[in-house]
Structure 1
Amino acid sequence: MADNRFLLVGLGNPGPEYEQTRHNVGFIFLDYLAQKTGCRIEGQKMEGLYAQARGFGGQLLFLKPQTYMNRSGGSVRAFADYFKIPKGRILVLHDDLDLATGRIKVVGKGGAGGHNGIRSIAQHLGGADFARVKIGIGRPPQNEQGRGQPVDRYVLSRMHSDEMQLFEQRFAVVEEAVELFVCDGIDRCMNSINGRF
Protein backbone atom coordinates (compact mmCIF):
# COMPACT_ATOMS: atom_id res chain seq x y z
CA MET A 1 0.00 0.00 0.00
CA ALA A 2 1.41 3.38 -0.99
CA ASP A 3 2.33 5.79 1.76
CA ASN A 4 -0.27 8.56 1.86
CA ARG A 5 1.25 10.78 4.53
CA PHE A 6 1.08 14.51 3.83
CA LEU A 7 2.88 17.39 5.52
CA LEU A 8 0.67 20.43 6.11
CA VAL A 9 2.70 23.47 7.16
CA GLY A 10 1.30 26.70 8.58
CA LEU A 11 3.64 29.68 8.61
CA GLY A 12 3.82 32.30 11.35
CA ASN A 13 5.91 33.60 14.21
CA PRO A 14 5.90 31.98 17.66
CA GLY A 15 4.93 33.73 20.86
CA PRO A 16 1.86 35.51 22.23
CA GLU A 17 2.94 38.90 20.86
CA TYR A 18 2.39 37.58 17.32
CA GLU A 19 -0.99 35.93 17.86
CA GLN A 20 -3.77 37.22 15.59
CA THR A 21 -1.29 39.15 13.42
CA ARG A 22 -1.61 39.08 9.64
CA HIS A 23 1.70 37.26 9.21
CA ASN A 24 0.30 34.42 11.34
CA VAL A 25 -2.74 33.49 9.26
CA GLY A 26 -0.94 30.27 8.28
CA PHE A 27 -0.90 29.25 11.96
CA ILE A 28 -4.55 30.24 12.37
CA PHE A 29 -5.76 28.18 9.42
CA LEU A 30 -3.60 25.18 10.36
CA ASP A 31 -5.02 25.19 13.89
CA TYR A 32 -8.51 25.11 12.39
CA LEU A 33 -7.62 22.16 10.12
CA ALA A 34 -6.11 20.22 13.02
CA GLN A 35 -9.20 20.88 15.12
CA LYS A 36 -11.37 19.44 12.32
CA THR A 37 -9.45 16.17 12.58
CA GLY A 38 -9.82 16.15 16.38
CA CYS A 39 -6.24 16.99 17.33
CA ARG A 40 -4.25 19.90 18.72
CA ILE A 41 -0.81 20.96 17.49
CA GLU A 42 1.09 20.58 20.75
CA GLY A 43 3.93 18.09 20.22
CA GLN A 44 7.44 19.54 20.05
CA LYS A 45 10.21 18.26 17.83
CA MET A 46 12.82 19.59 15.41
CA GLU A 47 12.10 23.27 16.10
CA GLY A 48 8.39 22.89 15.43
CA LEU A 49 5.03 22.23 17.03
CA TYR A 50 3.35 19.25 15.38
CA ALA A 51 0.51 16.74 15.48
CA GLN A 52 -0.46 13.65 13.51
CA ALA A 53 -3.98 12.63 12.55
CA ARG A 54 -6.05 10.91 9.93
CA GLY A 55 -8.33 13.18 7.97
CA PHE A 56 -9.22 14.66 4.59
CA GLY A 57 -8.50 11.28 2.99
CA GLY A 58 -4.94 10.78 4.21
CA GLN A 59 -2.47 10.51 7.06
CA LEU A 60 -1.66 14.10 8.02
CA LEU A 61 1.28 15.69 9.74
CA PHE A 62 0.57 19.25 10.91
CA LEU A 63 3.59 21.51 11.46
CA LYS A 64 4.00 25.04 12.83
CA PRO A 65 7.73 25.95 12.65
CA GLN A 66 8.83 27.79 15.79
CA THR A 67 11.97 29.34 14.34
CA TYR A 68 10.45 32.67 13.26
CA MET A 69 9.31 33.19 9.71
CA ASN A 70 12.60 33.72 7.90
CA ARG A 71 14.06 30.42 9.20
CA SER A 72 10.98 28.20 8.72
CA GLY A 73 12.70 25.99 6.17
CA GLY A 74 14.97 24.19 8.61
CA SER A 75 12.07 22.70 10.56
CA VAL A 76 10.14 21.84 7.39
CA ARG A 77 13.15 20.04 5.91
CA ALA A 78 13.77 18.15 9.16
CA PHE A 79 10.18 16.88 9.28
CA ALA A 80 10.13 16.03 5.56
CA ASP A 81 13.35 14.02 5.93
CA TYR A 82 12.40 12.28 9.18
CA PHE A 83 8.95 11.22 7.95
CA LYS A 84 10.16 10.65 4.35
CA ILE A 85 7.63 13.03 2.80
CA PRO A 86 8.47 14.16 -0.75
CA LYS A 87 7.92 17.74 -1.91
CA GLY A 88 4.86 16.66 -3.89
CA ARG A 89 3.04 15.85 -0.63
CA ILE A 90 3.88 19.10 1.17
CA LEU A 91 1.28 21.89 1.36
CA VAL A 92 2.23 25.24 2.93
CA LEU A 93 -0.39 27.72 4.16
CA HIS A 94 0.78 31.33 4.33
CA ASP A 95 -0.21 34.98 4.11
CA ASP A 96 0.06 36.87 0.82
CA LEU A 97 0.27 40.67 0.50
CA ASP A 98 -0.54 40.68 -3.21
CA LEU A 99 -3.95 39.04 -2.79
CA ALA A 100 -6.93 41.01 -1.51
CA THR A 101 -7.86 40.25 2.09
CA GLY A 102 -9.73 36.95 2.24
CA ARG A 103 -8.83 35.81 -1.26
CA ILE A 104 -7.59 32.21 -1.44
CA LYS A 105 -5.26 30.96 -4.19
CA VAL A 106 -3.64 27.54 -4.56
CA VAL A 107 -0.38 27.14 -6.49
CA GLY A 108 1.74 24.10 -7.21
CA LYS A 109 5.09 25.89 -7.32
CA GLY A 110 6.62 29.28 -7.99
CA GLY A 111 8.84 31.96 -6.53
CA ALA A 112 8.73 33.31 -3.01
CA GLY A 113 7.09 36.59 -4.03
CA GLY A 114 8.96 38.39 -1.27
CA HIS A 115 7.74 35.99 1.43
CA ASN A 116 10.69 35.10 3.67
CA GLY A 117 9.09 31.92 4.98
CA ILE A 118 8.55 30.52 1.48
CA ARG A 119 12.06 31.56 0.48
CA SER A 120 13.53 29.71 3.46
CA ILE A 121 11.54 26.55 2.72
CA ALA A 122 12.59 26.59 -0.95
CA GLN A 123 16.23 26.96 0.06
CA HIS A 124 16.09 24.07 2.52
CA LEU A 125 14.09 21.77 0.24
CA GLY A 126 16.32 22.50 -2.75
CA GLY A 127 13.56 23.95 -4.91
CA ALA A 128 10.26 25.80 -4.92
CA ASP A 129 8.18 22.96 -6.41
CA PHE A 130 5.92 22.45 -3.40
CA ALA A 131 2.24 23.37 -3.14
CA ARG A 132 0.90 26.37 -1.26
CA VAL A 133 -2.39 27.84 -0.16
CA LYS A 134 -1.97 31.61 -0.34
CA ILE A 135 -4.24 33.51 2.01
CA GLY A 136 -4.68 37.14 0.99
CA ILE A 137 -4.08 39.82 3.61
CA GLY A 138 -3.99 42.77 1.17
CA ARG A 139 -1.58 45.66 1.31
CA PRO A 140 -1.61 48.50 3.84
CA PRO A 141 -4.27 51.10 3.01
CA GLN A 142 -2.87 54.41 1.77
CA ASN A 143 -3.80 57.94 2.76
CA GLU A 144 -4.49 60.81 0.37
CA GLN A 145 -0.74 61.42 -0.01
CA GLY A 146 -0.26 57.81 -1.16
CA ARG A 147 1.45 56.77 2.05
CA GLY A 148 0.57 53.73 4.09
CA GLN A 149 1.86 51.80 7.05
CA PRO A 150 5.26 50.17 6.32
CA VAL A 151 4.77 46.60 5.12
CA ASP A 152 6.85 45.05 7.90
CA ARG A 153 4.75 46.79 10.54
CA TYR A 154 1.50 45.98 8.72
CA VAL A 155 2.07 42.22 8.54
CA LEU A 156 3.05 42.11 12.21
CA SER A 157 0.01 44.13 13.33
CA ARG A 158 -3.02 42.45 14.87
CA MET A 159 -5.99 41.98 12.60
CA HIS A 160 -9.23 43.90 13.04
CA SER A 161 -12.38 41.98 13.94
CA ASP A 162 -13.81 42.30 10.43
CA GLU A 163 -10.66 40.74 8.98
CA MET A 164 -10.87 37.84 11.42
CA GLN A 165 -14.53 37.29 10.53
CA LEU A 166 -13.64 37.20 6.83
CA PHE A 167 -10.91 34.63 7.43
CA GLU A 168 -13.30 32.52 9.48
CA GLN A 169 -15.63 32.52 6.47
CA ARG A 170 -12.76 31.12 4.40
CA PHE A 171 -11.98 28.21 6.75
CA ALA A 172 -14.30 25.86 4.85
CA VAL A 173 -12.71 26.77 1.50
CA VAL A 174 -9.22 25.97 2.77
CA GLU A 175 -10.54 22.75 4.31
CA GLU A 176 -11.93 21.79 0.89
CA ALA A 177 -8.61 22.71 -0.74
CA VAL A 178 -6.70 20.40 1.61
CA GLU A 179 -9.07 17.50 0.94
CA LEU A 180 -8.80 18.01 -2.82
CA PHE A 181 -5.00 18.19 -2.60
CA VAL A 182 -4.79 15.00 -0.56
CA CYS A 183 -7.35 13.00 -2.52
CA ASP A 184 -7.04 14.30 -6.08
CA GLY A 185 -3.76 16.19 -6.38
CA ILE A 186 -2.66 19.76 -6.89
CA ASP A 187 -4.13 20.29 -10.39
CA ARG A 188 -7.67 19.35 -9.36
CA CYS A 189 -7.25 21.45 -6.24
CA MET A 190 -6.20 24.56 -8.19
CA ASN A 191 -8.94 24.11 -10.79
CA SER A 192 -11.63 23.83 -8.14
CA ILE A 193 -10.52 26.51 -5.66
CA ASN A 194 -8.92 29.30 -7.67
CA GLY A 195 -11.10 32.08 -8.99
CA ARG A 196 -13.89 31.74 -6.42
CA PHE A 197 -13.09 34.99 -4.67
Structure 2
Amino acid sequence: MLLIAGLGNPGSQYARNRHNIGFMAVDAIHARHRFSPWVKKFKALIADGTIDGEKVLLIKPQTFMNLSGQSIGEAMRFYKLALDDLVVIYDELDLPAAKVRIKAGGGANGHNGIKSIDAHMQGLLGGKDYRRLRLGIGHPGAKELVHNYVLGDFAKVDNEWLDLLFSALSDNLAYLVKKDDNGLMNKLTLALGGQQTTTKPVVKDTGAKPVPKAQSHIRQARQNNNNAPSSVIKLPASGPMADMLARLFGKKDN
Protein backbone atom coordinates (compact mmCIF):
# COMPACT_ATOMS: atom_id res chain seq x y z
CA MET A 1 0.00 0.00 0.00
CA LEU A 2 1.09 3.56 -0.71
CA LEU A 3 0.01 6.31 1.67
CA ILE A 4 -0.18 9.72 -0.04
CA ALA A 5 -0.50 12.56 2.44
CA GLY A 6 -1.38 16.08 1.41
CA LEU A 7 -0.62 18.79 3.96
CA GLY A 8 -2.78 21.79 4.77
CA ASN A 9 -5.07 23.38 7.33
CA PRO A 10 -8.73 22.32 7.65
CA GLY A 11 -11.51 24.83 7.11
CA SER A 12 -12.92 26.74 4.15
CA GLN A 13 -11.03 29.90 5.15
CA TYR A 14 -7.75 28.13 4.38
CA ALA A 15 -8.84 26.29 1.24
CA ARG A 16 -7.04 28.56 -1.27
CA ASN A 17 -3.99 29.31 0.89
CA ARG A 18 -0.56 28.65 -0.59
CA HIS A 19 0.10 26.54 2.53
CA ASN A 20 -2.76 24.26 1.44
CA ILE A 21 -1.36 23.24 -1.93
CA GLY A 22 -0.86 19.71 -0.54
CA PHE A 23 -4.59 19.42 0.24
CA MET A 24 -5.38 20.82 -3.20
CA ALA A 25 -3.16 18.27 -4.95
CA VAL A 26 -4.69 15.32 -3.08
CA ASP A 27 -8.20 16.62 -3.80
CA ALA A 28 -7.33 16.70 -7.51
CA ILE A 29 -6.04 13.11 -7.35
CA HIS A 30 -9.23 12.04 -5.57
CA ALA A 31 -11.41 13.70 -8.21
CA ARG A 32 -9.44 12.21 -11.13
CA HIS A 33 -9.45 8.57 -9.98
CA ARG A 34 -12.01 6.20 -8.50
CA PHE A 35 -11.34 6.62 -4.82
CA SER A 36 -13.86 5.99 -2.06
CA PRO A 37 -15.66 8.96 -0.52
CA TRP A 38 -13.73 10.83 2.17
CA VAL A 39 -14.27 9.46 5.68
CA LYS A 40 -12.96 10.55 9.08
CA LYS A 41 -10.27 8.35 10.60
CA PHE A 42 -6.88 8.85 12.27
CA LYS A 43 -7.82 12.49 13.02
CA ALA A 44 -7.87 12.95 9.26
CA LEU A 45 -9.95 12.56 6.12
CA ILE A 46 -9.00 9.40 4.22
CA ALA A 47 -10.02 7.74 0.96
CA ASP A 48 -8.78 4.53 -0.64
CA GLY A 49 -8.49 3.35 -4.21
CA THR A 50 -6.40 1.31 -6.61
CA ILE A 51 -3.85 2.73 -9.04
CA ASP A 52 -2.13 0.45 -11.53
CA GLY A 53 -3.01 -2.61 -9.42
CA GLU A 54 -1.67 -1.10 -6.18
CA LYS A 55 -3.79 -0.02 -3.22
CA VAL A 56 -3.44 3.69 -2.45
CA LEU A 57 -4.66 5.57 0.61
CA LEU A 58 -5.09 9.34 0.47
CA ILE A 59 -4.93 11.23 3.75
CA LYS A 60 -5.54 14.86 4.71
CA PRO A 61 -4.68 15.46 8.39
CA GLN A 62 -7.31 17.56 10.18
CA THR A 63 -5.09 18.42 13.15
CA PHE A 64 -3.79 21.65 11.56
CA MET A 65 -0.41 21.82 9.90
CA ASN A 66 1.82 21.83 12.99
CA LEU A 67 0.45 18.47 14.18
CA SER A 68 0.32 16.67 10.82
CA GLY A 69 2.52 13.85 12.12
CA GLN A 70 -0.17 12.68 14.56
CA SER A 71 -2.60 11.59 11.84
CA ILE A 72 0.04 10.18 9.52
CA GLY A 73 1.77 8.32 12.36
CA GLU A 74 -1.53 6.67 13.38
CA ALA A 75 -2.22 5.55 9.81
CA MET A 76 1.33 4.22 9.39
CA ARG A 77 1.04 2.17 12.60
CA PHE A 78 -2.44 0.84 11.77
CA TYR A 79 -1.44 -0.42 8.30
CA LYS A 80 2.09 -1.46 9.40
CA LEU A 81 3.68 0.57 6.62
CA ALA A 82 7.38 1.22 6.02
CA LEU A 83 9.02 4.59 5.39
CA ASP A 84 9.11 4.07 1.62
CA ASP A 85 5.33 3.47 1.63
CA LEU A 86 4.75 7.15 2.47
CA VAL A 87 4.68 10.16 0.13
CA VAL A 88 4.03 13.62 1.56
CA ILE A 89 2.91 16.45 -0.75
CA TYR A 90 3.45 19.99 0.54
CA ASP A 91 4.35 23.59 -0.26
CA GLU A 92 7.97 24.68 -0.73
CA LEU A 93 8.97 28.33 -0.32
CA ASP A 94 12.44 27.84 -1.76
CA LEU A 95 11.14 26.59 -5.11
CA PRO A 96 9.70 29.03 -7.65
CA ALA A 97 5.99 28.68 -8.28
CA ALA A 98 5.21 25.88 -10.77
CA LYS A 99 8.47 24.06 -9.99
CA VAL A 100 8.41 20.58 -8.44
CA ARG A 101 10.97 18.35 -6.72
CA ILE A 102 10.76 14.86 -5.23
CA LYS A 103 13.24 12.92 -3.13
CA ALA A 104 13.46 10.63 -0.14
CA GLY A 105 14.58 12.19 3.12
CA GLY A 106 16.03 15.64 3.63
CA GLY A 107 15.48 18.48 6.06
CA ALA A 108 12.25 20.19 7.05
CA ASN A 109 13.56 23.59 5.88
CA GLY A 110 11.40 25.36 8.45
CA HIS A 111 8.15 23.64 7.39
CA ASN A 112 6.21 22.86 10.58
CA GLY A 113 4.16 20.09 9.00
CA ILE A 114 7.30 18.27 7.92
CA LYS A 115 8.91 18.83 11.34
CA SER A 116 5.92 17.10 12.94
CA ILE A 117 6.01 14.17 10.52
CA ASP A 118 9.79 13.81 10.90
CA ALA A 119 9.39 13.55 14.66
CA HIS A 120 6.70 10.88 14.43
CA MET A 121 8.50 8.84 11.76
CA GLN A 122 11.75 9.02 13.70
CA GLY A 123 10.01 7.63 16.78
CA LEU A 124 7.87 5.12 14.88
CA LEU A 125 10.21 3.73 12.23
CA GLY A 126 13.60 5.04 13.31
CA GLY A 127 14.13 7.28 10.29
CA LYS A 128 12.90 10.14 8.14
CA ASP A 129 13.60 8.84 4.64
CA TYR A 130 10.05 8.94 3.36
CA ARG A 131 9.43 10.51 -0.06
CA ARG A 132 8.68 14.21 -0.21
CA LEU A 133 6.94 15.79 -3.18
CA ARG A 134 7.61 19.52 -2.85
CA LEU A 135 5.43 21.90 -4.85
CA GLY A 136 6.98 25.34 -5.31
CA ILE A 137 5.00 28.38 -4.26
CA GLY A 138 7.83 30.94 -4.46
CA HIS A 139 9.19 33.16 -1.70
CA PRO A 140 7.99 36.67 -0.81
CA GLY A 141 11.59 37.86 -0.56
CA ALA A 142 11.88 38.65 3.15
CA LYS A 143 11.58 36.42 6.23
CA GLU A 144 9.14 38.70 8.00
CA LEU A 145 6.69 38.38 5.08
CA VAL A 146 6.61 34.57 5.04
CA HIS A 147 3.78 33.98 7.55
CA ASN A 148 1.23 36.17 5.77
CA TYR A 149 2.43 34.95 2.39
CA VAL A 150 1.92 31.22 2.99
CA LEU A 151 -1.43 31.86 4.67
CA GLY A 152 -2.47 34.11 1.81
CA ASP A 153 -4.58 32.86 -1.10
CA PHE A 154 -3.29 32.05 -4.54
CA ALA A 155 -4.17 34.73 -7.08
CA LYS A 156 -6.71 33.90 -9.78
CA VAL A 157 -4.00 34.06 -12.43
CA ASP A 158 -2.18 31.23 -10.64
CA ASN A 159 -5.00 28.89 -11.63
CA GLU A 160 -3.38 28.22 -15.01
CA TRP A 161 -0.23 26.62 -13.66
CA LEU A 162 -2.03 25.06 -10.69
CA ASP A 163 -4.48 23.32 -13.02
CA LEU A 164 -1.62 22.07 -15.21
CA LEU A 165 0.29 20.81 -12.18
CA PHE A 166 -2.65 18.98 -10.60
CA SER A 167 -3.75 17.48 -13.92
CA ALA A 168 -0.25 16.24 -14.73
CA LEU A 169 0.22 14.79 -11.24
CA SER A 170 -3.16 13.05 -11.31
CA ASP A 171 -2.69 11.70 -14.84
CA ASN A 172 0.76 10.32 -14.03
CA LEU A 173 0.06 9.01 -10.53
CA ALA A 174 1.11 5.51 -11.59
CA TYR A 175 4.75 6.70 -11.66
CA LEU A 176 4.45 7.72 -8.01
CA VAL A 177 2.89 4.37 -7.10
CA LYS A 178 5.65 2.46 -8.93
CA LYS A 179 8.22 4.62 -7.14
CA ASP A 180 9.54 5.82 -10.49
CA ASP A 181 10.35 9.33 -9.32
CA ASN A 182 12.42 10.17 -12.41
CA GLY A 183 9.55 9.20 -14.67
CA LEU A 184 7.15 11.37 -12.68
CA MET A 185 9.51 14.34 -12.74
CA ASN A 186 9.91 14.05 -16.51
CA LYS A 187 6.14 14.13 -16.99
CA LEU A 188 5.61 17.06 -14.61
CA THR A 189 8.48 19.05 -16.09
CA LEU A 190 7.13 18.52 -19.60
CA ALA A 191 3.62 19.58 -18.56
CA LEU A 192 4.83 22.68 -16.70
CA GLY A 193 7.62 23.72 -19.03
CA GLY A 194 7.78 27.45 -19.72
CA GLN A 195 4.98 28.38 -17.34
CA GLN A 196 4.87 32.02 -16.30
CA THR A 197 4.10 32.61 -12.63
CA THR A 198 2.92 35.65 -10.71
CA THR A 199 5.26 35.24 -7.77
CA LYS A 200 7.79 38.07 -7.66
CA PRO A 201 10.39 38.64 -4.96
CA VAL A 202 9.94 41.64 -2.70
CA VAL A 203 13.06 43.82 -2.78
CA LYS A 204 13.70 45.90 0.32
CA ASP A 205 14.71 49.53 -0.23
CA THR A 206 18.15 50.00 1.34
CA GLY A 207 18.56 53.58 0.09
CA ALA A 208 21.59 52.63 -1.97
CA LYS A 209 21.81 54.02 -5.49
CA PRO A 210 21.77 51.42 -8.26
CA VAL A 211 25.08 50.65 -9.89
CA PRO A 212 25.05 51.93 -13.49
CA LYS A 213 25.48 49.34 -16.20
CA ALA A 214 28.79 49.29 -18.03
CA GLN A 215 28.61 50.94 -21.46
CA SER A 216 30.41 49.89 -24.60
CA HIS A 217 33.16 52.08 -26.01
CA ILE A 218 30.98 52.86 -29.02
CA ARG A 219 28.08 54.11 -26.87
CA GLN A 220 30.46 56.20 -24.77
CA ALA A 221 31.99 57.67 -27.93
CA ARG A 222 28.53 58.53 -29.26
CA GLN A 223 27.77 60.39 -26.01
CA ASN A 224 31.08 62.22 -26.31
CA ASN A 225 30.27 63.17 -29.86
CA ASN A 226 27.00 64.65 -28.56
CA ASN A 227 28.89 66.83 -26.02
CA ALA A 228 28.22 64.57 -22.99
CA PRO A 229 30.14 65.64 -19.88
CA SER A 230 33.75 64.62 -20.29
CA SER A 231 33.91 63.37 -16.70
CA VAL A 232 31.78 60.33 -17.57
CA ILE A 233 33.63 59.46 -20.77
CA LYS A 234 36.60 57.10 -20.57
CA LEU A 235 37.76 56.12 -24.05
CA PRO A 236 40.95 54.33 -25.12
CA ALA A 237 43.64 56.79 -26.20
CA SER A 238 45.54 54.42 -28.50
CA GLY A 239 45.33 51.06 -30.19
CA PRO A 240 42.93 49.48 -32.71
CA MET A 241 39.79 50.48 -30.75
CA ALA A 242 40.94 54.13 -30.61
CA ASP A 243 41.58 54.12 -34.39
CA MET A 244 38.14 52.63 -35.13
CA LEU A 245 36.35 55.14 -32.87
CA ALA A 246 38.23 57.99 -34.53
CA ARG A 247 37.03 56.84 -37.96
CA LEU A 248 33.43 56.47 -36.73
CA PHE A 249 33.08 59.61 -34.68
CA GLY A 250 35.96 61.87 -35.70
CA LYS A 251 34.93 65.42 -36.64
CA LYS A 252 34.60 66.02 -40.36
CA ASP A 253 36.08 69.07 -42.13
CA ASN A 254 33.53 71.76 -43.01
- TM-score normalized by the length of structure 1: 0.86
| Separation (CA, whole Å) in 2 of partners of 1:82 and 1:102 | 35
C-alpha deviation, 1:193, in angstroms = 5.4
Please state if 1:11 is matched with 2:43. Answer: no
1:38 aligns with 34
- Secondary structure of the equivalent of 1:20? coil
| Separation (CA, whole Å) in 2 of partners of 1:95 and 1:139 | 11
Structure 1 pair 93–106 and aligned structure 2 pair: CA distance change class (3 A): same
Q: How does 1:112-123 map to 2 (within 5 A)?
A: 112-123=108-119
Q: Which runs of 4+ in 1 moved over 4 A?
A: 193-197
2:55 aligns with 59
Amino acid at match of 1:19: A
Deviations 1:62-117 (A, max 9, x none): 00000111110010010011012211011111000000011111111111111111
Farther-moved stretch of structure 1 (99-108 vs 35-44): 35-44
C-alpha deviation, 1:56, in angstroms = 4.2
1:160 aligns with 155
Amino acid at match of 1:132: R
Contact 1:9 1:63 in 2 (8 A): yes
Which stretches in structure 2 are left out of the alignment for 5+ residues?
Answer: 194-254
| Separation (CA, whole Å) in 2 of partners of 1:169 and 1:100 | 15
Q: 2:66 aligns with which of 56, 70, 89?
A: 70
Structure 1 pair 66–181 and aligned structure 2 pair: CA distance change class (3 A): same
Contact 2:36 2:49 in 1 (8 A): no
| Separation (CA, whole Å) in 2 of partners of 1:76 and 1:21 | 21
Number of positions where the alignment pairs a residue of Structure 1 with one of Structure 2 = 187
Q: How does 1:38-187 map to 2 (within 5 A)?
A: 38-39=34-35, 42-126=38-122, 127-140=127-140, 150-175=145-170, 178-183=173-178, 185-187=179-181
Structure 1 pair 191–161 and aligned structure 2 pair: CA distance change class (3 A): closer
| Separation (CA, whole Å) in 2 of partners of 1:148 and 1:123 | 24
Structure 1 pair 41–156 and aligned structure 2 pair: CA distance change class (3 A): farther
Amino acid at match of 1:139: H
Amino acid at match of 2:26: L
C-alpha deviation, 1:54, in angstroms = 0.9
| Separation (CA, whole Å) in 2 of partners of 1:12 and 1:65 | 8
C-alpha deviation, 1:192, in angstroms = 3.4
| Separation (CA, whole Å) in 1 of partners of 2:185 and 2:150 | 29
Deviations 1:10-46 (A, max 9, x none): 0000011101110000000001111122236520011
Report percent identity of matched pairs.
32
| Separation (CA, whole Å) in 2 of partners of 1:24 and 1:40 | 22
Which stretches in structure 1 are left out of the alignment for 5+ residues?
Answer: none
| Separation (CA, whole Å) in 1 of partners of 2:143 and 2:74 | 38
Contact 1:52 1:59 in 2 (8 A): yes
| Separation (CA, whole Å) in 1 of partners of 2:93 and 2:53 | 31
Structure 1 pair 52–177 and aligned structure 2 pair: CA distance change class (3 A): same
RMSD over aligned Cα atoms: 2.1
1:192 aligns with 186
1:29 aligns with 25
| Separation (CA, whole Å) in 1 of partners of 2:146 and 2:118 | 22
- TM-score normalized by the length of structure 2: 0.68
